[in-house]
Amino acid sequence: MVLNGIRTGAGLWRGAPQETEKPMTQSLRENLHLVSDPQNLDSSVEEVFNMMLGASCHLIDEVPKDEEETITAVVGFGGLLSGACVFRSGGTAALNIAAKLTGMEFPEIDDTVKDAIGEVCNMLAGAWKGRVPDLSANCGLSIPAVITGSDYNIHVQAPEFRLHHNYRFDDTVFAVTIICDGLQ
């Protein structure tokens, strides 16, 4: 307390402007239009793929066809927004993405490929939440969970909002979904 008073007093003595703290956001509802803007998802995907994989991807209307094996990574959001970022692709896309990310080729989906897909999902979640300052400052991310298999669904009952887009990457497709199940 005394140190703050000294620092503030010393700053005023030198003629420096007094710093004031910005009040912490208590609600994202007033910025719901920013948080749920689909362009933020597209910009985040473009940014991560360009910067981290040196590749471009394009928004598409077609639905990714499930291959024999699919891979899904989930990163949870916690704080003023609760929900998840979900990345889902077939095995071929996962192998291609992991190869671009690591600079290595993979004959099959192994732990390194799973880690790469989890990290891509983590980067997408971080880039997306970083597009809204109040969300960035008041929402944390979980570590990625990665699921592989051929017959599974992720279900969230009555989400506040859901963004879902499909993208083409080289000759493969993948989907990214942002699900918000709670907004303060």
Give tens-digit pLDDT for 95-119: 999 999 999 999 999 999 999 999 9
The confidence band for 66, taking pLDDT boundaries of 50, 70 and 90, is low
Length of the chain measured in residues: 184
CA-atom Rg of the chain in angstroms: 20
Least confident interval from 6-10, 62-66, 81-85 = 6-10
The confidence band for 64, taking pLDDT boundaries of 50, 70 and 90, is low
Give tens-digit pLDDT for 131-141: 988 888 899 99
pLDDT of residue 21: 52
- Between residues 184 and 7, which one has the greater pLDDT? 184
Is the pLDDT reported for residue 130 higher than 70? Answer: yes
Is the pLDDT reported for residue 25 higher than 70? Answer: no
Walk me through the domains of the chain, giving residue ranges and CATH numbers: 27-183 (3.40.1550.10)
Is the pLDDT reported for residue 3 higher than 50? Answer: no
The confidence band for 27, taking pLDDT boundaries of 50, 70 and 90, is low
- Between residues 73 and 10, which one has the greater pLDDT? 73
- Between residues 101 and 150, which one has the greater pLDDT? 101
Percent of the chain with pLDDT over 70: 84
Mean pLDDT for the chain overall: 85
d(CA 142, CA 83): 10
pLDDT of residue 26: 56
Is the pLDDT reported for residue 175 higher than 70? Answer: yes
Q: Of all helices (H) and strands (E), which one includes residue 73? A: strand 70-79
pLDDT of residue 94: 96
**Rounded (to 5) percent helix, strand, coil in the chain:** 40, 30, 35
For the segment 60-88, the average pLDDT, to the nearest whole number, is 88
Per the CB < 8 A criterion, the answer to whether 163 and 7 are in contact is: no
